[in-house]
Structure 1
Amino acid sequence: MWAATVARLTESADMEEEEEKEPRVPCDSDYERLSVLGIGSFGRVVLAKRRDTGDLFALKLIAYSKLTLPKHLERTQTERDVLSSMRHENIVKLYCAYRTSTHFALVSEYCPGGELFHHLCRRRVFKAAAVAFYAAELSLALDCAHARGIVYRDVKPENCLLDSRGHLKLVDFGLAKVGVADLYLGAHSVCGTLEYMAPDVLAKKPSGYGLSVDWWGLGIWTYELLTGLPPWYGPDRHKLFKNIRHAPLRIPPYVSLAAASLLANLLRRHPRERLVGLQNLKRHSFFANIDFDTVSTHDNPPIRPKQGLANNFDAKFAALDVDDDDPPPTRKPATRTAAIVVDRASLQNWDYARPLRS
Structure 2
Amino acid sequence: MRLQRHKMGVEDFELLTIIGRGAFGEVRLCRAKATGEVYAMKKLKKSEMLSRGQVEHVRAERNLLAEVDSHCIVKLLYSFQDSEYLYLIMEYLPGGDMMTLLMRKDTLTEDEARFYVAQSVLAIQSIHRHNYIHRDIKPDNLLLDKNGHLKLSDFGLCKPLDCRALSTLHEHEPGSDEEYREPMPMDIEGGRSQPSTREQSHRSQQEQLQHWQRNRRMLAYSTVGTPDYIAPEVLLKKGYGMECDWWSLGAIMFEMLVGYPPFYSDDPMNTCRKIVNWRTYLKFPDEAKLTLEAKDLICRLLCDVDQRLGSRGGDDIKGHPWFNGIQWDKLYEMEAAYKPEVNGELDTQNFEKFDEVSSQPHPSTRSGPWRKMLTSKDANFVGYTYKNSDVLKGMMNSPIAELKKKPQPKRPSIVSLFDNANTGVVCNGEDSGHAHMDYSGRQTDESHTSSFQRKSQVFHSGENGRL
Fold equivalence (TM over 0.5): yes
Q: Offset of 1:352 from its aligned partner?
A: 1.0
Whole-angstrom CA distance in 2 between matches of 1:144 and 1:60: 22
The DSSP-based 3-state class of the residue aligned with 1:67 is: helix
1:230-309 matches, within 5 Å, as: 230-246=261-277, 247-252=280-285, 253-268=288-303, 270-276=304-310, 277-298=313-334, 300-308=335-343, 309=347
Whole-angstrom CA distance in 1 between matches of 2:8 and 2:99: 32
Contact kept in structure 1, 2:161 and 2:167, CA below 8 Å: no
The DSSP-based 3-state class of the residue aligned with 2:86 is: strand
Q: How many residues align?
A: 323
Whole-angstrom CA distance in 1 between matches of 2:133 and 2:371: 29
Contact kept in structure 2, 1:23 and 1:355, CA below 8 Å: no
Contact kept in structure 2, 1:25 and 1:96, CA below 8 Å: no
Q: Offset of 1:273 from its aligned partner?
A: 0.6
Q: Offset of 1:303 from its aligned partner?
A: 1.4
Whole-angstrom CA distance in 1 between matches of 2:253 and 2:372: 38
Whole-angstrom CA distance in 2 between matches of 1:285 and 1:230: 23
Q: 1:299-348: CA deviations, max 9, x gaps?
A: x101111122112111x32xx22x6349xxxxxxxxxx999437555401
Q: 1:138-187: CA deviations, max 9, x gaps?
A: 11111111111101100100001101111101001000000255885134
Q: Quick one: which amino acid aligns to residue 331 of structure 2? A: V
Whole-angstrom CA distance in 1 between matches of 2:350 and 2:58: 27
Q: 1:7-36: CA deviations, max 9, x gaps?
A: xxxxxxxx6xxx79x464421111101100
Of 128, 136, 141, 2:110 maps to 128
Change (3 A) 1:204 1:345: closer
Contact kept in structure 1, 2:72 and 2:126, CA below 8 Å: no
Q: Offset of 1:266 from its aligned partner?
A: 0.4
Change (3 A) 1:135 1:340: farther
Shifted more, 113-122 versus 344-353: the winner is: 344-353
Q: Quick one: which amino acid aligns to residue 133 of structure 1? A: F
Whole-angstrom CA distance in 2 between matches of 1:340 and 1:194: 31
Whole-angstrom CA distance in 1 between matches of 2:128 and 2:314: 10
The DSSP-based 3-state class of the residue aligned with 2:326 is: coil
Whole-angstrom CA distance in 2 between matches of 1:180 and 1:303: 38
Match of 1:108 in 2: 90
Match of 2:259 in 1: 228
1:194 aligns with 2:227: yes
Match of 1:347 in 2: 381
The DSSP-based 3-state class of the residue aligned with 1:356 is: helix
Whole-angstrom CA distance in 2 between matches of 1:223 and 1:23: 49
1:185 aligns with 2:168: yes
Q: Quick one: which amino acid aligns to residue 260 of structure 1? A: K
1:1-358 matches, within 5 Å, as: 22=4, 24-69=6-51, 71-181=53-163, 185-188=168-171, 191=180, 193-205=226-238, 208-246=239-277, 247-252=280-285, 253-268=288-303, 270-276=304-310, 277-298=313-334, 300-308=335-343, 309-314=347-352, 316-317=353-354, 320-321=355-356, 324-325=358-359, 340-341=373-374, 343-344=377-378, 346-356=380-390
Whole-angstrom CA distance in 1 between matches of 2:61 and 2:167: 22
Whole-angstrom CA distance in 2 between matches of 1:25 and 1:256: 55
Contact kept in structure 1, 2:42 and 2:88, CA below 8 Å: yes
Contact kept in structure 2, 1:56 and 1:110, CA below 8 Å: yes
How does the TM-score come out when normalised to structure 1?
A: 0.84
Contact kept in structure 1, 2:62 and 2:79, CA below 8 Å: yes
Whole-angstrom CA distance in 2 between matches of 1:38 and 1:105: 14
Q: Quick one: which amino acid aligns to residue 185 of structure 1? A: T
Query: Structure 1 vs Structure 2: percent identity of aligned residues?
Result: 32
Q: 1:33-80: CA deviations, max 9, x gaps?
A: 110011011000000011121110000000123224363112111111
Q: 1:230-249: CA deviations, max 9, x gaps?
A: 11111223322211111331
By relative contact order (CA 8 Å, sep 6+), the higher-ranking structure is 1
Whole-angstrom CA distance in 1 between matches of 2:264 and 2:144: 25
The DSSP-based 3-state class of the residue aligned with 2:146 is: coil
- RMSD of aligned C-alpha atoms? 2.5
Contact kept in structure 2, 1:151 and 1:180, CA below 8 Å: no
Runs of at least 5 residues in structure 2 that lack an aligned partner in the other structure: 182-225, 361-369, 394-467
Match of 1:333 in 2: none
Q: Quick one: which amino acid aligns to residue 179 of structure 1? A: L
How does the TM-score come out when normalised to structure 2?
A: 0.65
Which has the larger Rg?
2
Q: Offset of 1:283 from its aligned partner?
A: 1.0
Match of 2:218 in 1: none
Whole-angstrom CA distance in 2 between matches of 1:183 and 1:287: 30
Q: Offset of 1:289 from its aligned partner?
A: 2.8
Change (3 A) 1:325 1:183: farther
The DSSP-based 3-state class of the residue aligned with 2:47 is: helix
Contact kept in structure 1, 2:20 and 2:27, CA below 8 Å: yes
The DSSP-based 3-state class of the residue aligned with 2:298 is: helix
Q: Offset of 1:99 from its aligned partner?
A: 1.3
Q: Quick one: which amino acid aligns to residue 390 of structure 2? A: L
Q: Quick one: which amino acid aligns to residue 230 of structure 2? A: M
Shifted more, 122-131 versus 342-351: the winner is: 342-351
